[in-house]
Structure formats: C-alpha cells, structure tokens
Structure 1
Amino acid sequence: MAVTIFGHAQGGTPDAGSAVPASVSGTSKKAVRAENRRLQKDVLRNLSKTKGLNTSNLVVVARSGVVTLGGSVPEASQVELAVAAARGVGGVAEVKSNLVVRPEGL
C-alpha cells in the first residue's frame, strides 16, 4: 500500500499571536519559513506514524506554530485522530481542522 502525503508550508510571523512582521522582530523571513517547513514535516511524519489514520488525502499547512489540517479522511473517527497526532508534535501551538469525511471510493 502506498501512502502519499501532500504538504504545503507558508511563511508567516514569528509567533502565532503576533502581528509584528518578521523584519521588525529580528527574525528573518527566511528563518520563519524554514521553521514553518520543519514543523510541517514533523507533523506529516507524526501523522504517517499514527496507527488507524489514512493519510493519503491529508494536507498540512504550518504557520508560526499554527497547524491547519486539510483534505479528507474516510471515517469521522480519523478527524480527531489526526488532530490529536498534530497536537502531539513539539512546536505546535494550535491545530485547526478543515478535514472532511469522504468515504473511500467517493
């Protein structure tokens, strides 16, 4: 069985609650983007290791500690499983779920 995980990281501000641009806070935009990519990869890795979770249609966006999960899962129980797995990653301050339940084959 092949598992494909799509991910997308975006640049952002240095911390989730701040509206201060990276250039003003002293953290470079490049460093913020690198941190977002690292967090995205860590979350994707944790999701793929989670037993009972179908990750073939999941998308992860990480932005300054806020992780947004998108895509679809085949069963409603997998939504909470994915959210819990994302929350368990160091550096994740908040998890937003835009996951939809779409049974396999649809």
Structure 2
Amino acid sequence: MKSVAFLKTLTAVACVTVACSVYAQDNSAASGTAAATAAAPTAAAPASSKKVDRKLGYSVRKALSKAQGLDISNITVRSRSGAVTLTGSVPSQDQIDKAGEVAKGVAGVKSVTNKLTVVQQ
C-alpha cells in the first residue's frame, strides 16, 4: 500500500514539475525579456553569414563558368568571410592561373587560396 501511495505522489510531483517547466519556457520565449532579445541577433548572425558565403561562392562559380577556356567540371569553390578556396583539378597550369585571377575579380572576394592541381585527362 505504501509503495502505491508513494508512486502516485511521485507521479503527481513529476507532472507538476513538467507542467511548470513547460509554462516557464513558453513564458520566457513569448515575453520581451533582455535575455530573449539578446539571443535573437546571435542566432541570426550565423545564418546570414552562411547565406552571404553561399552567395559569394555561387558568384565565383558563375564567373568561372563564364570564363573562356576554363574547364570547371572538377573545380570546387568554398567561401568563408570573403576568403575563397578553389580545390579540384584542371588539365593545365594555365587554367589554374586563370581560375585564380577570375576568382580575385569577383566583387566581395578578399582573398583566394588556389589549391587546384593539374591532371592530364
């Protein structure tokens, strides 16, 4: 009998605890407290940074595709805070140099790391 009463009490305490914590989470998220307001910009900053990096990488890739005499089928473009990294392989050294120059000419590119290699096809 005592164990049944103990389990009922323990279950009631657990339910009350869960209900209070759920209410507290909803209340803090809905209210305009300083903690909730301060957390919002930091959560949005990485998302916008990734978006800018993605857009810059896309712009570089597009510029490389428009360059005459450049085989971009094996080139990967990565961007982070304006620093662009080119990796992959091309058929000649001239294309490595040209890819680096084209990437440097894209607006928003601060630096280019050219890790392209020559692979005869």
Query: Given the alignment, which residue of 63, 81, 90 partners 2:98?
Result: 81
Which structure carries more strand by proportion? 1
Cα distance, 1:33–1:78 mapped onto 2, change above 3 Å? same
Match of 2:116 in 1: 99
Q: Which shifted more, 56-65 or 27-36?
A: 27-36
Larger Rg: 2
| TM-fit CA distance, 1:27 | 6.9
Listed as ranges, the gaps of 5+ residues in structure 1 are 1-21
What's the Cα RMSD here? 1.6
Identical residues among aligned pairs (%): 38
Letter in 2 for 1:33: K
Match of 2:88 in 1: 71
TM-score, scaled to structure 2: 0.64
1:44 aligned to 2:43? Answer: no
Listed as ranges, the gaps of 5+ residues in structure 2 are 1-40
| TM-fit CA distance, 1:51 | 0.2
Q: Distance in 2 between matches of 1:27 and 1:92?
A: 23
Q: Distance in 2 between matches of 1:63 and 1:46?
A: 17
Letter in 2 for 1:75: S
Which structure carries more helix by proportion? 2
Match of 1:33 in 2: 50
TM-score, scaled to structure 1: 0.73
